[in-house]
């Protein structure tokens, strides 16, 4: 019988000095392979007497188990070292730039339009639209602008050449024609807003030949100016996100409303930033009034039965006020630096839960 | 329009401050633009007396003055030649801002002597254009009197008048509204007639009653014209008017005081013994009082005598009969000119005179003769003379008619709780006459309020004077419309498309709806119907047929600024004509790829990048992308002919075009290529017609999908799409898709051909396929490909 202790020391020693998986496997084969030293001992047990087997059996099996464990442990060590080495060789400099990806955005005017639509949707207003190229009837006559009246001239209208029928089309100077189209085609009660592009021949820091309006129209049997006041106060508070908002209705004149008003909001403009709900200044926000009986009549409705209010506001201007844009012309210049500075994330859609801005 | 507090007080008994008046005007509908208050602007400046003035030790032209000021005795260095002992003048303390010099005074030595303030000239206070030395004031003014009080300077209120209220173009009209609003008591405004002492020798003829329906006039002889008295000069100067002479100043005064424009003719220069209001004729022209010559058309109202045109009625008089210091006989005109014609004449001539402004907005038809009498009274006071009787030709337009009015309508329309008595009181104070009782009233507006045409106008008058501040805030009745959203499917798609593209890295631009006509022509537009007759600029004269040119030009502008790499999109209208149906909503996106160079050698963007984004967008919009045909060769001519395609559901249902822009188009727009883009017409994307919100049942096969690769040899000009379509069609039940993963041309492939490799996805539904079944499927695929012109590569 070989001295088991010597054999064990020899094998464990060889396991310990194996430097790679192949070397370790050679040790395993020499000990536990078909012709391995431990395998030979296990085979030899059959020739032993029962007493010897009772004595030698546990010793040889113990040896085999310990060697197997040592092999497994060493294998794990060597595999770990090999993985470490592989990972070390796979090192990357992660300060290098990732593939370029452009950052897109939503234009501030469109963002503000979405805000307005969300606010008015909560109050039950549907969204109506209509063509940008209009006729004189929808843009002026139906809205109670007498022919050749000075109020028409104040609109700085863009015209097209007259066609064979003598009809001269124009670019709508406000989205009010949509109100007319709605009242003509739809039975009251009506509760709509009309957002869209509008055009006037004017250009300076606060005027551009194209701009955006959102107009509102409510027609029913008993709608009065108090409803108008509540609607606009609610809107202004939601839009400027303050419950502190103080508004002022001021008489004004528009051909298509009677009585007419402009709405001012109390604000503070010191330090260049606009703060609504505090301060000593008034900011003119929009024009509004009760729809003129002539307008209601021009749409085929009886003004003694139906009445209501209308309002209109400049979207770009309110976007400028809310988000601190100094020059209206930049809104339409498509400068990528400006767009990325004033643009909004695609995922910043105004919601009641997430806030409207 | 401007006025001063003292002018207002000529018509209104009031103790209100300027601030009260501004507030009341605003709430009555008069938009105050600006208040120039010298008392505020010049608050730092006060009256002072020079006690002694001695020669400066180190400077010939300077004097060192001891001055009694509001701040005590001060030593002040002064360079004015008139700085002398005993002079009463104006002192500015250290720290005061001197508007005429645009400096704030600091304590500093002047040639070695410290000056503790400054003595001021009128120019330095901006109370005069220029001045010669420091102010010289009356000796009885007390030291410390504010300069505004010392000089009698008043606040000037500048305000905007809406076109419906011509009566506000006179101070008396403003006083009337302020009195009605409770700011004071209106003084009696009636004018006593001035009787004439002889018949008016000048005949008045009206041959264009539409243009000038009524004309009152009188002659005043033996007048002595000349400079106006100081009070009149000061009153006009305070609101920025220049004094001409007494006769002319009277007309200007009444224009601003009563909104009653008048004209004075030097009667000695009238020829033929008559004046005539007629339309312009033939080749006439007029040398007007502004020194310019105007051609007179048949659209204009002309005042003439037998020598020809004397003036443009209601707009401007002529040089030939202007009143000068030599005038001894004056013919005074108080007429009424048609507002529309006067407005048109103003536009045609470019003349915006005070008279034109008022007549264009409608002058009070009830103040024609009283206006003439008031002018006569003033002329007699200032210039003496003998008035003739008044001659009136024609007839004034009828006064506004009565309006049936139920006072309850005030509450119904405005929501204000106002009782009938209050409403009627307001209307009466504004000049209305009321008859009837209860709900059946008849309200007649005054002659100066032709804007009041119906009962809603009466409600506005009551609401405005009672005050909009009293309006209730009444919630709208609730509606259920919001339960299913308020946007139409198209509006909603525009909104989703916007946010989808922004998420893909595109920046939203908003560009003009117009472009240059020649640019529009490059993109299939530019028809006469969409060309503006009065564009704001010659390169913005045509409605755009496409958003592409605007975005391409925007990319070009960005490149010129040094930002060549950009991805832009816009959602907006495009115009094929001037009818509502010709307007479509496009979503247009563009990439001008100038990506930064990459250390990892990764590929940049190409036309397939824009294709990928377009298809992703269409998926987001719910378009039927699986049924879309990609058709090459028929896209619009502004695209690269070989690198562009249409996406369509059929030849008449084109949804989008995409590709690389044609280099010739880019060069015409002065932009470097390549530029990739798509234009998608939202109106062309069919709306989903799903009956229920619930999705169809979900069926996932438990069987493993498998894939097989095939390579086919096809002629080089055959498009891959046809091959893919044929392969998928080989067995629609089993084949779930096929995707090209390699296209090869070159060695090993016969010339004129290419190898297209496809990975075919097979999704067994009922049972796992046997090898034999897979073999059979492969044979079907190969046969289908062969039919489509593809030979299996072996």
Describe the crossing of helices A50-89 and A4-17 by its angle, rounded to 10 degrees.
10
pLDDT at position B656: 97
pLDDT at position B409: 96
Contact between B567 and A251 using a beta-carbon 8 Å cutoff: no
Average pLDDT over residues B405-410: 96
A178: nearest CA partner in chain B: B580
Average pLDDT over residues A201-222: 93
Check for a shared fold between B2-37+155-186 and B403-470.
yes
Residue located via tokens 């033996």 = B222
Contact between B505 and A101 using a beta-carbon 8 Å cutoff: yes
Chain B, 531-590: which have a CB under 8 Å from a chain A CB?
A: 531-536, 540, 543, 550-551, 554, 557-558, 561, 563, 565-569, 571-573, 575, 578-580, 582-583
Phi first, then psi: what are they for B735, rounded to 5°? Answer: -85, 120
Residues in B closer than 8 angstroms to A104, CB to CB, are: 501-508, 567, 569
* CATH no., domain B2-37+155-186: 3.30.56.10
pLDDT at position A151: 66
pLDDT classification of B592: cutoffs 50, 70, 90: very high
Confidence check: pLDDT of A154 > 80 = no
- Measure CB to CB from residue A133 to each of B472, B502, B583 and give the nearest one: B583
Count CB pairs under 8 A between chains A and B. 266
Residues in A closer than 8 angstroms to B445, CB to CB, are: none
Q: For the residues of B18-38, what is the DSSP string, one character each? A: HHHHHHHHHHHT-EEEEEE-H
Q: How many CB atoms lie within 10 A of CB B398?
A: 8
- Measure CB to CB from residue B476 to each of A104, A148, A231 and give the nearest one: A231
Give exposure, B331-343, as e/b (b: 16+ Cβ within 10 Å). Answer: bbbbbbbbbbbbb
Instruction: Note the pLDDT tens digit of each residue in B691-705.
Output: 777 888 888 788 889
Confidence check: pLDDT of A268 > 70 = yes
Q: Is the dihedral of CA B297, B303, B305, B310 positive or negative?
A: negative
Q: Which residues contact A189 (CB under 8 A, 6 or more apart)?
A: A218, A219, A220, A221, B479
pLDDT at position B481: 54
- Measure CB to CB from residue A159 to each of B505, B532, B543 and give the nearest one: B532
Average pLDDT over residues A42-46: 84
Question: Do residues A218 and A190 touch, judged by C-beta distance below 8 A?
Answer: yes
Give exposure, A325-338, as e/b (b: 16+ Cβ within 10 Å). Answer: beebebbbbbbbeb
Contact between A161 and B533 using a beta-carbon 8 Å cutoff: yes
Q: For the residues of B661-678, what is the DSSP string, one character each? A: EPHHHHHHTT--S--EEE
Q: What is each CA distance from B115 to A190, A246, B76, B80, in whole angstroms?
A: 73, 49, 4, 14
Residues in B closer than 8 angstroms to A230, CB to CB, are: 473-476
pLDDT at position A57: 86
Q: Which CATH number fits domain B203-394: 3.40.50.970, 3.40.470.10, 3.60.15.10, 3.50.40.10?
A: 3.50.40.10
Contact between B471 and A227 using a beta-carbon 8 Å cutoff: no
Q: Which residues contact B64 (CB under 8 A, 6 or more apart)?
A: B53, B54, B55, B56, B57, B75, B76, B77, B113
Instruction: Note the pLDDT tens digit of each residue in B91-123.
Output: 999 999 998 889 899 888 888 888 899 999 988
Confidence check: pLDDT of B453 > 70 = yes
How far apart (Å, rounded) are the C-alpha atoms in residues B410 and A7?
117
Q: What is each CA distance from B228 to B150, B224, B235, in whole angstroms?
A: 23, 11, 11
Average pLDDT over residues A273-290: 87
A189: nearest CA partner in chain B: B479
Describe the crossing of helices B420-429 and B171-180 by its angle, rounded to 10 degrees.
160
- Measure CB to CB from residue A307 to each of B164, B413, B454 and give the nearest one: B413
Contact between A121 and B485 using a beta-carbon 8 Å cutoff: yes
How far apart (Å, rounded) are the C-alpha atoms in residues A242 and B15?
38
Instruction: Note the pLDDT tens digit of each residue in B712-741.
Output: 999 998 889 999 999 999 998 899 999 999
pLDDT at position B428: 96
Contact between B162 and A253 using a beta-carbon 8 Å cutoff: yes
Instruction: Note the pLDDT tens digit of each residue in B531-583.
Output: 999 999 999 999 999 999 999 999 999 999 999 999 999 999 999 999 999 99
Q: Choosing among A133, A214, A229, A343, which should be mutated to test the B contact, i.e. which has the most B CBs within 10 A? A: A133
Residues in A closer than 8 angstroms to B532, CB to CB, are: 158-160, 171
User: pTM of the predicted model, to two decimals?
Assistant: 0.86
Q: Which CATH class is domain B403-470?
A: alpha beta
Lowest mean pLDDT among A39-48, A335-344, B664-673: A39-48
Instruction: Note the pLDDT tens digit of each residue in B626-648.
Output: 889 999 988 899 999 999 999 99
Average pLDDT over residues A47-63: 86
Q: Choosing among B457, B460, B514, which should be mutated to test the A contact, i.e. which has the most A CBs within 10 A? A: B460
Give the torsion through C-alpha atoms of B687, B692, B694, B699, to 10 deg: -80
Q: Is the dihedral of CA A80, A81, A83, A84 positive or negative?
A: positive
Q: Pick the closest to residue B651 from B684, B608, B607, B691 (CA basis).
A: B684
A48 touches chain B (CB under 8 A): no
Instruction: Note the pLDDT tens digit of each residue in B744-785.
Output: 999 889 999 999 999 999 999 888 899 999 999 999 999 999
pLDDT at position B192: 95
Residues in B closer than 8 angstroms to A133, CB to CB, are: 530, 543, 575, 578-580, 582-583
Chain B, 157-186: which have a CB under 8 Å from a chain A CB?
A: 162-165
- Closest approach of A81 to chain B, Cα-based (Å): 30
* CATH no., domain B489-684: 3.30.930.10
For every residue of B491-504, which 3-state class applies, written as one string?
A: HHHHHHHHHHHHHC
Helices (H), B183-338: 230-238, 246-258
- Closest approach of B717 to chain A, Cα-based (Å): 34
Q: Does domain B40-151 sit in CATH 2.40.50.140?
A: yes
Q: Which CATH class is domain B706-792?
A: alpha beta
Contact between B26 and A260 using a beta-carbon 8 Å cutoff: no
Q: What is each CA distance from B612 to A300, B546, B565, B606, in whole angstroms?
A: 50, 21, 19, 10
B508 touches chain A (CB under 8 A): yes
Confidence check: pLDDT of A148 > 80 = no
Question: Do residues B255 and B263 touch, judged by C-beta distance below 8 A?
Answer: no
- Closest approach of B459 to chain A, Cα-based (Å): 7
How far apart (Å, rounded) are the C-alpha atoms in residues A135 and A206?
27
Question: Do residues B446 and B432 touch, judged by C-beta distance below 8 A?
Answer: yes
Q: Is A53 exposed, middle or buried (0-12, 13-18, 19+ CB in 10 A)?
A: middle
Contact between B510 and A117 using a beta-carbon 8 Å cutoff: no
How far apart (Å, rounded) are the C-alpha atoms in residues B125 and B39?
12
Task: Express as a percent the part of chain B with pLDDT over 70.
Answer: 99
- Measure CB to CB from residue A249 to each of B471, B480, B509 and give the nearest one: B471
Q: Which residues contact B581 (CB under 8 A, 6 or more apart)?
A: none
- Closest approach of B24 to chain A, Cα-based (Å): 11
B794 touches chain A (CB under 8 A): no
A171 touches chain B (CB under 8 A): yes
Residues in B closer than 8 angstroms to A154, CB to CB, are: 163
How far apart (Å, rounded) are the C-alpha atoms in residues B310 and B298?
15
Instruction: Note the pLDDT tens digit of each residue in A119-128.
Output: 999 899 999 9
Q: Which residues contact B413 (CB under 8 A, 6 or more apart)?
A: A224, A225, A259, A290, A307, B456, B459
Instruction: Note the pLDDT tens digit of each residue in B351-394.
Output: 999 999 999 999 999 999 999 999 999 999 999 999 999 999 99
Contact between B29 and A251 using a beta-carbon 8 Å cutoff: yes
Instruction: Note the pLDDT tens digit of each residue in B148-182.
Output: 888 888 889 999 888 889 999 999 999 999 999 99
Instruction: Note the pLDDT tens digit of each residue in B9-35.
Output: 999 999 998 899 999 999 999 888 889
A100 touches chain B (CB under 8 A): yes
Question: Do residues A277 and A285 touch, judged by C-beta distance below 8 A?
Answer: no
- Measure CB to CB from residue B456 to each of A97, A290, A336 and give the nearest one: A290
DSSP state of B187: P
pLDDT at position A150: 65
B472 touches chain A (CB under 8 A): yes
Residues in B closer than 8 angstroms to A105, CB to CB, are: 502, 507-508
Task: Give the tokens for residue B207.
Answer: 């041959």
B495 touches chain A (CB under 8 A): yes
A118: nearest CA partner in chain B: B486
Residues in A closer than 8 angstroms to B358, CB to CB, are: none
Confidence check: pLDDT of A1 > 50 = no
Q: How many CB atoms lie within 10 A of CB B181?
A: 19
pLDDT at position B480: 64
pLDDT at position A2: 58
Task: Give me the interface pTM, i.e. the ipTM.
Answer: 0.88
Q: Where are the domains of chain B?
A: 2-37+155-186, 40-151, 203-394, 403-470, 489-684, 706-792
Contact between B476 and A160 using a beta-carbon 8 Å cutoff: no
Contact between B508 and A339 using a beta-carbon 8 Å cutoff: yes
A125 touches chain B (CB under 8 A): yes
Contact between A125 and B486 using a beta-carbon 8 Å cutoff: yes
Confidence check: pLDDT of B317 > 70 = yes
């Amino acid at each position: 019988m070989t001295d088991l202790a010597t054999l064990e020391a020899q094998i464990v020693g060889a396991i310990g000095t194996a430097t790679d998986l192949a070397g370790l496997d050679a040790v395993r084969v020499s000990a536990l392979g078909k012709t391995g030293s431990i395998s030979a001992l296990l085979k030899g047990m059959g020739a032993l007497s029962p007493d010897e087997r009772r004595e030698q059996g546990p010793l040889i099996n113990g040896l085999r188990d310990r060697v197997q464990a040592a092999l497994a442990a060493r294998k794990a060590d060597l595999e770990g070292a090999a993985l470490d080495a592989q990972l070390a060789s796979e090192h990357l400099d992660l300060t290098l730039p990732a593939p370029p990806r452009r950052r897109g955005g939503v234009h501030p005017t469109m963002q503000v339009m979405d805000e307005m639509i969300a606010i008015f949707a909560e109050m039950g207003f549907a969204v109506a639209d209509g063509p940008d190229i209009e006729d004189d009837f929808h843009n002026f006559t139906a809205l109670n602008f007498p022919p050749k009246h000075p109020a028409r001239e104040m609109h700085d209208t863009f015209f097209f050449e007259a066609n064979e029928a003598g009809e001269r089309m124009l670019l709508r100077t406000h989205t009010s024609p949509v109100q007319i189209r709605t009242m003509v085609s739809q039975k009251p009660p009506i509760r709509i807003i009309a957002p869209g592009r509008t055009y006037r021949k004017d250009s300076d820091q606060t005027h551009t030949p194209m701009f955006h309006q959102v107009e509102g129209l409510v027609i029913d049997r008993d709608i009065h100016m108090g409803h108008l006041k509540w609607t606009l106060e609610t809107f202004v508070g939601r839009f400027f996100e303050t419950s502190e908002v103080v508004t002022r209705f001021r008489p004004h004149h528009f051909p298509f409303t009677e009585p007419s008003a402009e709405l001012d909001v109390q604000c503070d403009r010191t330090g260049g930033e606009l703060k609504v709900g505090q301060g000593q200044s008034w900011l003119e926000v929009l024009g509004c009034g009760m729809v003129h009986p002539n307008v209601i009549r021009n749409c085929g409705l009886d003004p003694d039965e139906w009445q209501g209010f209308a309002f209109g506001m400049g979207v770009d201007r309110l976007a400028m006020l809310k988000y601190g844009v100094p020059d209206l012309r930049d809104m339409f210049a498509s400068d990528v630096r400006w767009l990325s500075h004033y643009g909004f994330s695609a995922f910043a859609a105004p919601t009641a839960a997430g806030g409207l801005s | 329009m401007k006025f001063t507090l003292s002018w207002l007080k000529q018509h209104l008994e009031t103790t209100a401050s300027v601030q009260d008046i501004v507030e009341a005007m605003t709430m009555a509908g008069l938009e105050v633009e600006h208040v120039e208050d010298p008392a505020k602007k010049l608050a730092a400046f006060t009256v002072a007396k020079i006690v002694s003035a001695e020669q400066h030790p180190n400077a010939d032209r300077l004097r060192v003055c001891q001055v009694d000021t509001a701040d005590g005795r001060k030593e002040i260095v002064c360079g004015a030649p008139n700085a002398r002992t005993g002079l009463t003048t104006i002192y500015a303390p250290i720290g005061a801002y001197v508007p005429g010099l645009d400096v704030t005074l600091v304590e500093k030595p002047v040639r070695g002597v410290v000056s503790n303030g400054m003595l001021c000239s009128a120019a330095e206070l901006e109370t005069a254009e220029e001045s010669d030395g420091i102010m010289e004031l009356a000796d009885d003014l007390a030291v410390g009197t504010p300069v505004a009080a010392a000089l009698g300077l008043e606040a000037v209120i500048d305000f905007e008048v809406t076109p419906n209220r011509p009566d506000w173009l006179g101070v008396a009209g403003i006083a009337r509204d302020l009195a009605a609003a409770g700011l004071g008591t209106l003084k009696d405004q009636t004018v006593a007639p001035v009787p004439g002492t002889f018949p008016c020798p000048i005949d008045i003829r009206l041959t264009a009653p539409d243009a000038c329906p009524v004309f009152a006039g009188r002659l005043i002889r033996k007048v002595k014209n000349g400079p106006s008295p100081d009070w009149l000069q000061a009153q006009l100067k305070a609101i920025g008017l220049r004094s001409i002479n007494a006769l002319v100043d009277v007309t200007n005064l009444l224009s601003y005081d009563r909104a009653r424009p008048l004209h004075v003719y030097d009667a000695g220069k009238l020829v033929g013994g008559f004046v005539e209001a007629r339309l312009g004729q033939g080749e006439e022209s007029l040398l007007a009082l502004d020194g310019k010559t105007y051609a007179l058309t048949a659209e204009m109202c002309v005042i003439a005598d037998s020598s020809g045109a004397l003036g443009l009625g209601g707009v401007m008089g002529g040089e030939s009969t202007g009143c000068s210091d030599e005038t001894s006989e004056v013919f005074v005109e108080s007429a009424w000119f048609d507002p529309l014609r006067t407005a048109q004449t103003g536009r045609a001539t470019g003349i915006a005179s005070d008279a034109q402004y008022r007549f264009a907005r409608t002058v009070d038809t009830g103040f024609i003769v009283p206006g003439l009498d008031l002018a006569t009274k003033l002329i007699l006071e200032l210039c003496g003379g003998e008035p003739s009787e008044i001659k009136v030709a024609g007839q004034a337009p009828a006064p506004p008619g009565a309006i049936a009015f139920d006072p309850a309508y005030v509450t119904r329309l405005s929501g204000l709780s106002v009782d009938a008595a209050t409403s009627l009181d307001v209307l009466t104070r504004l000049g209305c006459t009321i008859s009837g009782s209860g709900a059946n009233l008849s309200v007649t507006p005054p002659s100066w309020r032709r804007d009041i045409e119906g009962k809603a106008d009466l409600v506005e008058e009551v609401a405005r004077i009672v005050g909009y501040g009293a309006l209730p805030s009444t919630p709208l009745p609730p509606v259920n419309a919001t339960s299913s959203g308020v946007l139409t499917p198209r509006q909603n798609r525009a909104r989703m498309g916007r946010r989808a593209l922004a998420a893909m890295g595109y920046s939203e631009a908003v560009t003009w709806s117009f472009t240059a006509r020649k640019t529009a022509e490059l993109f299939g537009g530019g028809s006469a119907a969409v060309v503006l007759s009065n564009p704001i600029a010659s390169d913005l004269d045509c409605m755009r047929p496409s958003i592409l040119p605007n975005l391409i030009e925007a990319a070009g502008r960005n490149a010129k600024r040094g930002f060549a790499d950009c991805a832009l999109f816009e959602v907006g209208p495009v115009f094929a004509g001037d009818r509502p149906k010709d307007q479509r909503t496009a979503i247009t996106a563009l990439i001008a790829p100038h990506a930064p160079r990459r250390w990892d050698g990764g590929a940049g963007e190409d036309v397939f990048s824009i294709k990928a984004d377009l298809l992703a967008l269409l998926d987001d919009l719910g378009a039927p992308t699986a049924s879309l045909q990609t058709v090459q060769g028929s896209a619009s001519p502004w695209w690269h002919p070989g690198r562009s395609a249409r996406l369509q559901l059929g030849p008449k249902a084109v949804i989008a075009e995409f590709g690389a822009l044609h280099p010739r188009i880019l060069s015409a727009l002065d932009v470097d290529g390549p530029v990739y883009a798509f234009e998608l017409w939202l109106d062309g994307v069919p709306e989903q017609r799903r009956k229920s919100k619930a999705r169809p049942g979900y069926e996932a096969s438990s069987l493993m999908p498998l894939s097989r690769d095939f390579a086919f040899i096809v002629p080089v000009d055959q498009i891959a799409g046809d091959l893919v379509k044929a392969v998928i069609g080989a067995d629609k039940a089993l084949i779930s898709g096929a995707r090209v993963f390699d296209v090869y041309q070159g060695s090993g492939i016969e010339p004129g051909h290419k190898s297209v490799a496809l990975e075919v996805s097979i999704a067994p539904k009922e049972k796992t396929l046997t090898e034999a079944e897979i073999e059979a499927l492969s044979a079907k695929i190969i046969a289908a490909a062969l039919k489509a012109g593809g030979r299996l590569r072996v």
